Structure 1
Amino acid sequence: MPWVVSAGLLAGAFDIAYAIGLVLSQGRSPARMLQAIASGVLGKPAFEGGLPIAAFGLACHLAIAVGMAFVYYAAAQRWRFLVEHIVASAAAFGVGSWMAMQYVIVPASAAPFVLPADPASIARSLFAHVVLVGLPIAWIVRRALRG
């Protein structure tokens, strides 16, 4: 199981680093972005919580990424295709995880916003989910299952 936790933490770190770079390039605050993640649990009050709530948002983000790694691990134990064809599997998993976040997880959360749905935002988000989340998880899970 340490491999799976490592996969999720690495993918979460890649994804959040990309997101922080993106918000900084847009002149926005990384702390506010992390508060937005925390708002999925805390609702609107998350935006008034300062750095402790931003840290909680980071913890939430990493927990979700570790959860994604466990989902991939469980599926890969059942379907060997996910272990033997990691690029195609990571791409499908990345798209699926993006869809889950976009259409299920965020809408069902307490977040007081919807995720952007313009083509550029979708493209950036799909890139992040496929390359920065799906590939590291698929690669590390393959290593874990092959011993």
Structure 2
Amino acid sequence: MKNANQNVFSFGTLFSIGLIAGTLDGLAAVIFLAKMNFVRVFQYIASAILGKAAYAGGAKTVLLGLILHYFIAFSFTFFFALLTTRISALRKNVLLSGIIYGIFVWTMMNLLVVPLTKIPPISFHAEKALINAIILIFCIGLPVSYLTARSLRFQS
């Protein structure tokens, strides 16, 4: 018989996993996409709400972008954790689950979330899309998959 707490995550565990994934993703964006320009990355994210005004907003828009970035990372972490409690296959093959989830995150962000924001549309570039997808696989998909599966194993 299953323990009532089995397959349930604590808020602290999910927060930690989301913090790790969000930090890895943010660092990858700063290092690989923005050539070490921290301010530009997070003002770009803030521009989802503020439009072009985000680039003139200084530290306030950087902070807004940082908050939005972590909100998104936490949301994807919580969603994956919810899925793993219902779909045992996600816990059994951590590598494949992480790769698929990273691609899912890329797809959701690029085809659903970003088009609904004030970020102006840009033309598709296969190389940039591939780099972004790889970043999301390694920084969101794989860490979230591994850490949620590991957390569930420790509960058993």
TM-score of the two chains, using structure 1 as the length reference: 0.91
Separation (CA, whole Å) in 1 of partners of 2:127 and 2:69: 22
1:12 aligns with 2:30: no
1:137 corresponding residue in structure 2: 144
Q: How many equivalent residue pairs? A: 143
Compute the displacement of 1:125 (Å): 0.5
What are the superposed Cα offsets for residues 22-58 of structure 1, whole Å, 9 maximum, x if unpaired?
2126xxx331221110111222221110122112101
Query: Match for residue 123 of structure 1?
Result: 130
CA RMSD of aligned residues (A): 1.4
Alignment of 1:3-82 (within 5 A): 3-22=13-32, 23-24=34-35, 29-82=37-90
Q: What 5-or-longer segments of structure 1 have no aligned partner?
A: none
Report the AA paired with residue 14 of structure 2: V
1:93 aligns with: 101
* Residues 80 and 143 of structure 1, relative CA distance in 2, 3 Å threshold: same
Shift, 1:114, TM fit: 2.7
SS in 1 for 2:45: helix
Identity of aligned residues (%): 27
The TM-score with structure 2 as length reference comes to: 0.86
Q: C-alpha separation between the residues in 1 aligned to 2:126 and 2:63?
A: 30
Label 1:71 to 1:100 Cα distance change in 2 as closer, same or farther (>3 A). Answer: same
5+ long unaligned stretches in structure 2: 1-10
Q: Which has the higher helix share?
A: 1
Q: Supply the distance in 1 between the matched residues of 2:86 and 2:122 (Cα, whole angstroms).
A: 32
The structure 1 residue matched to 2:110, chosen from 102, 110, 115, is 102
